[in-house]
Amino acid sequence: MRFYQLSIEERLKALAETAGLTPEETAALSGAGGLLPEQADHMIENVAGVFGLPLGIAQNFVVNGRAVLVPMAIEEPSVVAGASFMAKLAAAGGGFTAHTSAPEMIGQMQVLDLDDPASARFKLLEQRQALLDEAAQVDPVLVKFGGGPRDLEVRLIEDSPIGPFLVVHLIVDVRDAMGANAVNTMAERLSPRVEQICGGRVHLRILSNLADRRLARARCTVPLGALGFEEYTGEQVRDGIIAAWAFAAADPYRAATHNKGIMNGVDAVVIATGNDWRAIEAGAHAYAARGGRYASLSRWARDAQGNLVGTLEMPMAVGTVGGATRVHPAARAALKLMGVQTAAQLAEIIISVGLAQNMAALRALATEGIQRGHMGLHARQVAIAAGASGDQVERVAARMVQEKAIRVDRAQEILNELDR
């Protein structure tokens, strides 16, 4: 039997055997042994409980030559199935090739009340190495593991609502952490020294979520022969995907929904691993507008052999140490399930899932329409909302799909008929 045909218990057993999960880790993935209210109470304020999301496992992913099972926490139908199927098509061309840049984050210091901002900028740059040396003393453990301050940049903002000011960028290699705490601490520690050097006043000291020095990139080639289905030829599917991408590349209204489809895949893995999906979202959309106009994060084209080629590049500030990633039992189990050892490996998987999900959305839009894939799963959700349970869910959903009337009131009518 295929994975999707198994019961939840059978799926968990298969995952445990494949990834060597302990009973405790398996229970964490199932939700039965996940985050406890007592643990949550130490994570945020005013805790009243723990909120759950469906956790699905994307299949068929091959990333840099390694087969990967990918946990995805998401409530939206068709995302896990769509990513899995596109990963299967990509696997026919060798899977996804992914890589990351150095794990460097930017800490910003806003310097106000300067008589001569241009001269102050030069003074700070002259003391660049001394400032980096001082920042390195803040986190000797990070430095021990090969990370720490890497560079210092100073930007002059000449046109702002409050007039000119300086922005100091402290570039920090954060290794396998997301890095917010380390970077923010270093920026705060350096502030008095910055003020002393340039004679200004440091106002804000905070990490930037536009992590454009910490990029992840993925590429896949889908053979033309793998693209055709039903009445659609491979050429029609390929050209339809490229035309749909061109729409997003040229129009910000379309680009917003196009990129949302990418983030369906990205966010689901980020959430499943306990990382900060809001930071990833902020960085992605800012990066999409880096050219002065909001545009597509991905790119689709045909190669010389006529195959479909997709690429995706975006900031990917995720970690495998610290934060909820190490506190949340399900997040720890998710990392083990993927066989992830470093933040770079995690980023490579996430960016590949984003590209797969983008292809799934474009393929659906360019051929049969987005609703066909959503219809069956949406109908089940509507049936449950109407009060269906057990085998009633499938029976009610099937009737609504057949009638093309997927509404709660119709589901209730069908339920009443079944109860007679």
Options 285, 328, 374, 378, the catalytic residue:
374
CA 140 – CA 136 distance, rounded (Å): 7
Q: Is 71 exposed, middle or buried (0-12, 13-18, 19+ CB in 10 A)?
A: buried
User: What residues form DSSP beta bridges with 301?
Assistant: 309
CA distance 413 to 410: 5
Residue the block writes with tokens 């295929």: 2
348 is catalytic: no
Say how far apart CA 29 and CA 329 lie, in whole Å: 8
- 249 dihedral zone (left: phi>0; alpha: psi -120 to 50; beta): alpha
| Cα 265 to Cα 24, 169, 188, 251, distances in angstroms | 27, 31, 35, 22
Q: Catalytic: 374?
A: yes
Provide the H-helix boundaries in 47-139: 79-91, 117-126, 128-136
Q: How far apart are CA 263 and CA 285, in angstroms?
A: 10
Which is the catalytic residue, given 104, 139, 276, 348?
A: 276
274: left (phi over 0), alpha (psi -120 to 50) or beta: left
Catalytic one of 13, 76, 123, 281: 76
Q: What is the Cα–Cα distance from 76 to 363, expressed in whole angstroms? A: 18
Q: Which of 88, 99, 123, 260 is the catalytic position?
A: 260
Separation in Å, CA 160 to CA 122, 156, 164 = 20, 11, 6
- Indicate if 378 belongs to the active site: no
Note the residue count of the chain: 420
d(CA 111, CA 117) in angstroms, rounded, equals 9
Active site residue 76: yes
Active site residues: 76, 260, 276, 374
